Amino acid sequence: MSFINGLKPASSLRSLYSYTNWNFAALGEIFERLAGMSYGSFIDERTIVPLNMSRTLASHAKVDDDNLAVPHAILDDISAYELPLPKSEDSTIMAAAQGIYSTGNDLLKYPQALTEAYHSQLQSTDAYPRSSPLRDVVKQSSAHTSRGSPSLLQKAYCLGMHRHQLPNQLDRLGCNTMFVEKIPLLAPGGDVRLLLSHGGSLAGYTAFSHYCRRLTAPLSFLSIP
């Protein structure tokens, strides 16, 4: 943390979008010091258990069966090569950025809870409604940093989520821009609506989660080469 405190800002606050996992790793260290427990224990207590995400874990030792997706890399000859499981987990330096095991079902529960908490907060004067363990969701899903060139339809970064007004290109999610020359336009003939997203990847794994605040059903996508 002392090293991070000594870094000079690359730009003024919220004037430039520049994503890095190291900021999430630093945030995890802050959680641990303030809460007096490991990051995994913290999110278990505050989020995972209250939302009944029964197969979302921060520790490899808690995986009690072999029902795991095995990571693979696709080689130049299009054959699959099995990779070792990622070592990121609770107590490692990147625990808060990429150390969580989960499932397709649980990846649907979290954005569903975000959507419900968002609507609950809008109907209340309290930013921390008791009906959900998720707090201040309206601020979390609001635009904080503009992304890309100025345009009529908004493209921005929130607090841990990407925000797109459709129709738009869902770029900056995973490795797509490395392999696709031009990202397609999502919902080109549809009406303007807001989509919140987050994506992530480790060697052999890719995951995306998208949800529309006007709807009640989120979408999650998993890809294992």
pLDDT of 43: 92
Q: What is the pTM of this model?
A: 0.79
Which tens digits make up the pLDDT trace of 28-77? 999 999 999 999 999 999 999 999 998 898 888 787 777 888 899 889 99
Q: Which residues in the chain show pLDDT less than 70?
A: 126-129, 172-177, 192, 213-225
- The full DSSP string for the chain is -HHHHTSPPSSSTTSS----HHHHHHHHHHHHHHHTS-HHHHHIIIIITTTT-TT-BS-GGG--SS--PPPEEE-TTS-EEE-PPP---TTSTTHHHH--B--HHHHHHHHHHHHHHHHHHHTSS-SS-TT-S---HHHHTS--EE-SS--SS-EEE-SSSEEEEESEE--SSTTHHHH-SSPPEESTTS--EEEEEEEEEETTEEEEEEEETTSS--EEEEE--
pLDDT of 35: 94
Domains and CATH numbers, the chain: 2-223 (3.40.710.10)
Which tens digits make up the pLDDT trace of 114-130? 888 888 888 877 666 67
